Amino acid sequence: MLQLARRMGRAKPSAIMAVAEKAKALKASGRDIISFSIGVPNFLPGDHVYAAAREALGKDSGQYGSNRGSDSLLDAFLNHIEAIGLSGYTRANCATGIGAKHVLYNLAEALLDEGDTIAYAVPYWTTYADIADICNAKVLELPCPASQNYKLTPAQLDAALATKPKVFLFNNPNNPTGMVYTRDEIAALADVVAKYPDTWIITDDIYNRMVFDGLGYHNFVHCRPELRDRVIFVDSLSKTYGMPGWRVGFIAGPESVAKALTTLNSNHITNIPEVVTAAAIAALSGPQDVPTAKNAEFQGKRDLVVATMNAIPGVICPTPQGAFYVFPDISCAYGKSHNGVAINSDVDLCNALLETKGVACVPGSAFGEPRALRISYTCPTAQLPEGLRRFQEFFAELS
Ligand code: PLP
């Protein structure tokens, strides 16, 4: 029998999608489902973005475009990142892709040979593990439980980088925890990074505009500009602008890396379509009122979710300061039962919660942390209190 490539034996579909699909099927069967599962922003971009796309359609050349990204898109991105203090980059430092996921996949192809090591903190965004598996890279996991606010410490990073991984992949603000590193924390980690010149650093910071409490967004290169020659900053339109389906992602980093991504693009995607490019430029360069308003709304929702979680006896819920996720440690429920069903894991709990209360959350094991679950709170505002009420009710019914 004909066989698929060995790497397909390691590739698996996204665990997050599996929960979302189950919730969708229950909804289609008539159940009243509130979804806290999928990490989509649930708002649409501003009208000017659609206007730009329509205008571009009117003059579409229909031709192939730049493998790196059009000059005007790269310029819009460069201006955009200057606003968060990432200045001094040129077009040659940048490349685009079909969303940050594609950019990260390209980076793995560009930086990791089979058997090389990639280090990242746990909990992690599921795709990191999946991409590492497909590339046959070794993974060095750095456990960051709720007791350390899900944050990596300088001592942990020091021990990890001393083993000379090829890549250290850092994610701030974080999915699934929503945690954001302060300037001091980033500076301390950057000091460690500076000691170890043999490791590429990827900062997947696609939620950099979604930071609450006036904390601000900080990157290693803000604190240590000399790290620029091996730090690769990853960004995306998906979450900030409510454009996950438009599929636009970016890097700013060393020229050699941007060139490698451009070469890979030339061999698979070729280019981002003209109409999407026009919409992306409008999002980056136009009025920022939609993302600003959404950020304020998410901060209010965060407060409600965290207050609810911390009111449940035994649940440990560090307060996130960004993105739109809360990641409570719910392991206090393990060993108990709900309506006669034993709850011994995050998967048991998420299944019982979905089946009995119609509330969909993603088990923490999808992110490498089986003591927790992820709540994505971008659902319609009116649904949030009801979803949280059901969540609380579920815990009150445990015996
Ligand atoms: N990085 C992180 C941390 C994410 O949470 C996501 C999406 O959920 C991505 C990257 C991918 O984003 P994109 O839609 O740009 O592919």
Is the previous residue joined to 123 through a cis bond, with omega within 30 degrees of 0? yes
Q: Is the pLDDT of residue 18 over 90?
A: no
Average pLDDT over residues 208-217: 97
Q: Is 146 helix (H, G, I), strand (E, B) or coil?
A: helix
Average pLDDT over residues 212-237: 97
How far is it, in rounded angstroms, from Cα 263 to Cα 270?
9
What count of other Cβ atoms lies within 10 Å of the Cβ of residue 275?
17
How far is it, in rounded angstroms, from Cα 226 to Cα 218?
15
Is the previous residue joined to 154 through a cis bond, with omega within 30 degrees of 0? no
Which atom belonging to ligand 1 lies closest to the Cα atom of 249?
Answer: 15
Quote the tokens at residue 249. 């992602």
Which atom belonging to ligand 1 lies closest to the Cα atom of 248?
Answer: 15
Distance 238 CA to ligand 1 centre (A): 7
Q: What is the rounded radius of gyration, in angstroms, for the C-alpha atoms of the chain?
A: 21
Q: Is the pLDDT of residue 266 over 80?
A: yes
Query: If you average pLDDT over every residue of the chain, what do you get?
Result: 96
120 close to ligand 1 (CB < 6 Angstrom): no
| The pLDDT value given to residue 14 | 67
Which atom belonging to ligand 1 lies closest to the Cα atom of 102?
Answer: 16
How far is it, in rounded angstroms, from Cα 375 to Cα 204?
20
Quote the tokens at residue 273. 């379509």
pLDDT digits (tens, 9 = 90+) for 142-160: 999 999 999 999 999 999 9
Quote the tokens at residue 294. 């959404």
How far is it, in rounded angstroms, from Cα 61 to Cα 15?
39
203 close to ligand 1 (CB < 6 Angstrom): no
236 close to ligand 1 (CB < 6 Angstrom): yes
178 close to ligand 1 (CB < 6 Angstrom): no
Per DSSP, helices labelled H in the chain are: 7-10, 15-28, 47-58, 71-82, 99-111, 126-134, 154-161, 183-195, 220-223, 255-267, 274-285, 289-310, 346-357, 383-396
204 close to ligand 1 (CB < 6 Angstrom): yes
Which atom belonging to ligand 1 lies closest to the Cα atom of 104?
Answer: 10
Which atom belonging to ligand 1 lies closest to the Cα atom of 125?
Answer: 3
244 close to ligand 1 (CB < 6 Angstrom): yes
- 8 A C-beta contact, residue 19 and residue 360: yes
Q: How confident is the model at residue 203 (pLDDT cuts 50, 70, 90)?
A: very high
pLDDT digits (tens, 9 = 90+) for 81-134: 999 999 999 999 999 999 999 999 999 999 999 999 999 999 999 999 999 999
126 close to ligand 1 (CB < 6 Angstrom): no
- DSSP β-ladder status, 359-360 and 34-35: parallel
| The pLDDT value given to residue 12 | 72
C-alpha closest to that of 17 among 244, 243, 173, 210: 244
Q: How far is CA 243 from CA 71, 209, 215, 292, 369, in A?
A: 21, 14, 25, 15, 28
Q: How confident is the model at residue 20 (pLDDT cuts 50, 70, 90)?
A: confident
Residue of the CA atom closest to atom 5 of ligand 1: 175
Distance 206 CA to ligand 1 centre (A): 7
Substitution candidate for ligand 1 out of 239, 251, 376 with most atoms within 8 A of CB = 239
Query: How far does CA 185 lie from the centroid of its chain?
Result: 20
